[in-house]
Amino acid sequence: MAITKTGFMRGIQCPKMLWLDKHKPSLKVIPPEVQERMDEGNDFGDEAMAMFGPYEEMTIYKPGTTIPDKEAMVAKTKEHLAKGTNVICEAAFMNYSNYCALDILRKTDSGYDIYEVKNSSEVHDQHIKDVAFQYYIVSRCKIKIDRIFIVIHGPDEENRFVPVEVTEEVKKLYNWIDNNIWRLNRIQKESEELDIAPGEQCNEPYECWYYGYCHTEEKEEEKEQEQIQML
């Protein structure tokens, strides 16, 4: 059992969230407004694929599903790297089964630039960590990365996609990613559910999809304590 970029980011917010994703996913509840933002983000990302002109997309789904076929996407990405394709979207990489798919990988004279697309008006800390995970995986796959950008949306349709360079900030996080990727891999393999009390991590930077489950547990524990005190 390895970890994806999404799993890593969820585990950094709260390790219990990652554990629940692997062991009790049926408990998750995605609020409609959150799903709407996610859909809008996907649409913005799809539009950004063409920001540098012609591109090749690596997305492949398992037959009859909308589940990405990671191995097939990695193989297709390797083919386009060998061909020298200038712009590769959803470029997939795997290292020790840890996986990521880059929004845009653009060829340069000496290597490649990474462009991570976010439907946001500014760059946030979680965006830096997100693309740092991708840089870590790609670097371990022996791909030379020159510069790293986060693409946010601009003020108008004439300036819809605005790349913000974050190369220095991202590369500084390499060792931090290395330490946490293996820690989170171990955590998600635990047989027992993690005992983590609800707190700020339930809403920062995003509201957890298991919010109701964990807070119901908290209320039940409070009732048990009240009953004990009444005895």
Q: Answer yes or no: are the C-beta atoms of 151 and 166 closer than 8 Å.
A: no
User: CB under 8 Å to 93, separation ≥6 — which residues?
Assistant: 74, 77, 99, 100, 101, 102, 134, 137, 138, 141, 143
Domains of the chain, with CATH numbers?
Answer: 5-197 (3.90.320.10)
Q: Which residues of the chain have pLDDT under 70?
A: 1, 217-231
What pLDDT was estimated at residue 34?
84
- What does pTM read for this prediction? 0.90
pLDDT of residue 216: 81
Alpha carbon separation from 4 to 121, 136, 137, 166, 230 (Å, rounded):
25, 12, 10, 21, 47
How deeply is 148 buried, as exposed, middle or buried, from its count of CB atoms within 10 A (0-12, 13-18, 19+)?
buried
